[in-house]
Amino acid sequence: MSRIRLSLAAAALLASVALPHVAHALTKPELVEYLKAVDERQKNQGDWRSMIYMEQKEKGKVDVAYEALVFRRSQDQKFIILFTQPKASQGQGYLRIDKNLWFYDPSVGKWERRTERERIGGTNSRRSDFDESRLAEEYDPEDNGEVKLGTYTAQVMTLHGKPDIDLAFPTLKLWVDKESKNILKREEYALSGRLLRTSFYSKWKKIYSESKKGDTWYPGEMRFYDEVEKANSTLIVIKGVDTKALEANQFTKAWLESKSR
Amino acid sequence: MTNLFLDFRIALRSLFQHRRRTLFLVSAISLVTGLLVLLNALSTGISETMIRAATTLSSGHVNVGGFFKVTSSQCGPIVTEYDKVVKVVEANVPEMAHWVHRGRGWAKVIADSGSVQAGVTGIDISNEPDFKRTLTIVSGNIDDLSQPNTMLIFESQVERLKVKVGDAVTLSAQTNRGAANTVDCRIVAIAKDMGLMSKFGTFVPVETTRSLYQLRPDTTGVVQLYLRPQYVKDVTAIAARLRNTLEKAGYRVMDPDANPFWMKFQTVNREDWTGQKLDVTTWEDEVSFLTWTLKVLSVLKLVLLTILIAIVVTGIMNTMWIAIRERTREIGTLRAIGMQRGGILRLFLFESFQMGVIGTVAGAAGGSLVAVLLNMANIKVPLGVQLFLMSDHLHLAVHLSALLGAGFMITLITTLAALYPAYRAARLPPVSAMSHFG
């Protein structure tokens, strides 16, 4: 009997030492709240202007680099990417209005309707990479525990696309910094379950947003690695962020066309 | 009748008497006929190769394809409940010999050493005897396409992907709802190139396309109708009739657009409708981006032929004028001993006709021989030319009807060219003709 008591005491002692390091599994509502917090940090709730630099490396091809301006308006989810460099791409742009993504090429003067999953400028980046985060609206999270990612302690979760929403990636896996709630790493999976793209968010920056009346966080640098064509990667740098109100008529085809005249 | 035969013999003798002149004219006629035969053989060869490649790789003689739009901005090349469409087709196209259905799509084919964007066609290999017969397999076994997640590619793709039979590749595409998806396939056969269309075409079992694009079993990409040979020339009329029939059966049918299905995505995406619309096309529509080569060749043939015929006609008329001038006294003598004007007319027309017959026979034989020799030489054409020829080798098709047509046309023209000089010869007064010194 005393041996049993001794064993129980030892187990209790061990548990008291070990438990602070083993996080309890998050419940579904807790995870949803967690995801909402991730989204909330990146939300601007107003207008947004930034400059992006994109660099695409592909096996057997010359590296391609673009500079573009991104404009977005939170209230009606409008969005523009206007290419400024290289010269051959100047004036080309994407416009998202009424949940449709359009592409304009000034050399032919035509608008083409594109899918939301369009690879921007042929790189491995998509429109959603430059837009506000809507993870909690689009996905149901599942807890995968905590891991150490370098010096960060990351909450890992698998996100499954909600049934009635069309998503480019039906399954995601996120590594979120426990402390800041910034995304550190993201894996995107195909319907078949195959890993397609891994993204690393190495620099998070913040800007005060008048419309939000608080700080808005954005990734200063993103690196996308193609997991099917292993040698392909994309670097995105976001800079020159400005949250001042944009012109009322900016999110129109006419405005984008005027930029190439 | 005896007179006619006599005139014919006199004309023939006259030809032999003026050998040098006859030889020169017959050679010219022969050259023009030979060139016409070769040009016909080339355009027929290209046309036949094009039909063969098109109806093997990407089209039936008539196709019932279409688009399904989940939202107004997302469309896929899909025919839903295709068995019902087939029933309408079977009841209304008696000219049809058989039909097949194929999956349609576009995907990135990724291997360890490279990747290509390619059209992915889903086929049921057990139901495609023509496909098996037309393709030349250089490696692997085409029947293995009956196994799930297998793939047939062409030689030119092997160069880019650096793969061989047995290697695995990944197909990466978006479903019609826009979700990313992949399927791993094993290469089971490598086929010899068939021109431009094989550069961007791959074949997988139809179940693989359904799996890649997450489609139901009752969907397909296109129903391809193959007509009995005698009706192939009527494809446009049959397609128009089928369009009406399908509309009457309650289907929404797209307006006729002579373009391949993959060139219609932009147009369809711009339109604000959702659901299913069928699209009836012919093989010519599906390769319309290439048939301009045939049109260019036809125009070229016409221009060349006009110039050559003009030269021959001028040559014949000139030669006849010279002959009449040289033989004026002979004409006068013939008229004096009782030959009527009609006889003189016939004499010169027969001469020209005989030269036409000899020249066209020689030209047709020569042209056919050159065509046969070129086919036997199996001449490989450069890549740029392959795109237009739809084949990596030069193929000339000589048909008896084309030979007879060319022969008849050139003989008729040469005979008619002699009509006016012969008429003038017949009008010569016998007395002045006999006293002519020239």
* Helix then strand then coil, % of chain B, to nearest 5: 60, 20, 20
Give the highest mean pLDDT range of A205-214, B239-248, B389-398.
Answer: B239-248
Residue B329 has pLDDT above 50, yes or no: yes
CA B263 to chain centre: 22
- As a whole number of angstroms, the distance between CA B417 and CA B316 comes to 7
Q: Give the model's pLDDT for residue A24.
A: 66
Rounded to a whole number of angstroms, the distance from the CA of A165 to the nearest CA of chain B is 9
Give the highest mean pLDDT range of B35-49, B177-191, B255-269, B283-297.
Answer: B177-191
Pick B435 or B234 by higher pLDDT.
Answer: B234
Q: Give the model's pLDDT for residue B62.
A: 95
Candidate from A224-228, B357-361, B386-390 with smallest mean pLDDT: B386-390
* Contact at CB, A112 and B74, closer than 8 angstroms: no
Q: Give the model's pLDDT for residue B337.
A: 85
* Contact at CB, A112 and B269, closer than 8 angstroms: yes
Q: Give the model's pLDDT for residue A9.
A: 52
* Contact at CB, B179 and A196, closer than 8 angstroms: no
Q: Give the model's pLDDT for residue A15.
A: 44
Helix, strand, or coil here: B67?
strand
Residue of B74, B170, B270 lying closest to A228 (CB–CB): B170
Q: b/e per residue, B334-369, with b = 16+ CB within 10 A?
A: bbeeebeeebbbbbbbbbbbbbbbbbbbbbbebbbe
Q: Give the model's pLDDT for residue B1.
A: 59
* Contact at CB, A166 and B174, closer than 8 angstroms: no
Cα nearest neighbour of A229 on chain B: B110
Query: Best of A188, A228, A230, A253 to disrupt the B interface by mutation (most B CBs within 10 Å)?
Result: A228
When pLDDT is averaged across residues B130-140 and rounded to a whole number, the result is 89
Query: Best of B67, B72, B73, B177 to disrupt the A interface by mutation (most A CBs within 10 Å)?
Result: B73
User: pLDDT band at B332, cuts 50/70/90?
Assistant: confident
Q: Give the model's pLDDT for residue A1.
A: 43
Q: Give the model's pLDDT for residue A166.
A: 81
Q: Give the model's pLDDT for residue B360.
A: 94
Instruction: Give yes or no for B148 touching A (CB within 8 A).
Output: no
Q: Give the model's pLDDT for residue A75.
A: 85
3-state SS of chain A is CHHHHHHHHHHHHHHHHHHHHCCCCCCHHHHHHHHHHHHHHHCCCCEEEEEEEEEEECCCCCCEEEEEEEEEECCCCEEEEEEEECHHHCCCEEEEECCEEEEEECCCCEEEEECCCCEHHHCCCEHHHHCCCCHHHHEEEEEEEEEEECCEEEEEEEEEECCCCCCCCCEEEEEEECCCCCEEEEEEECCCCCEEEEEEEEEEEEEEECCCCEEEEEEEEEEEEECCCCCCEEEEEEEEEECCCCCCCCCCHHHHHHCCC
* Tens digits of residue pLDDT in B181-196: 999 999 999 998 877 7
Q: What is the pLDDT along chain A (261 residues), one digit of tens a residue?
A: 445 555 545 554 444 444 444 456 788 889 999 999 999 999 888 899 999 999 999 888 889 999 999 999 988 889 999 999 999 899 999 999 887 889 999 998 888 888 777 888 888 888 888 888 899 999 999 999 999 988 999 999 999 999 888 888 999 999 999 999 999 999 999 999 999 999 999 899 999 988 888 899 999 999 999 999 888 999 999 999 999 999 888 999 999 999 887
User: Would you say the ipTM is above 0.90?
Assistant: no
Query: What dihedral do alpha carbons B31, B34, B35, B40 form, nearest 10°?
Result: 160
What contacts A170, CB < 8 A, 6 or more positions away? A160, A161, A189, A190, A191, B179, B180
| Per-position DSSP letters for B41-63, written without gaps between them | HHHHHHHHHHHHHHHHHT--SEE
- As a whole number of angstroms, the distance between CA B126 and CA B134 comes to 14
- As a whole number of angstroms, the distance between CA B287 and CA B278 comes to 19
Q: What Cα–Cα distance (Å) separates residue B33 from each residue in A242, B305, B365?
A: 77, 9, 9
Helix, strand, or coil here: B311?
helix
Query: Best of A192, A198, A226, A232 to disrupt the B interface by mutation (most B CBs within 10 Å)?
Result: A192
Instruction: Give yes or no for B110 touching A (CB within 8 A).
Output: yes
The three-point CA angle B152-B153-B156 to 5° equals 165
Rounded to a whole number of angstroms, the distance from the CA of A93 to the nearest CA of chain B is 17
| Chain A residues within an 8 Å CB radius of B160 | none
What contacts A146, CB < 8 A, 6 or more positions away? A23, A153, A154, A155, A156, A178
Instruction: Give yes or no for B180 touching A (CB within 8 A).
Output: yes
The number of C-beta contacts closer than 8 angstroms across A and B is 65
Cα nearest neighbour of B270 on chain A: A113
Q: Give the model's pLDDT for residue A10.
A: 54
Residue A8 φ/ψ, nearest 5 degrees = -65, -40
* Contact at CB, B269 and A169, closer than 8 angstroms: no
* Tens digits of residue pLDDT in B145-194: 999 999 999 998 998 899 999 999 999 999 988 889 999 999 999 998 87
- As a whole number of angstroms, the distance between CA B231 and CA A68 comes to 56
When pLDDT is averaged across residues B129-148 and rounded to a whole number, the result is 91
Residue B133 has pLDDT above 90, yes or no: no
* Contact at CB, A113 and B214, closer than 8 angstroms: no
Residue B162 φ/ψ, nearest 5 degrees = 55, 55
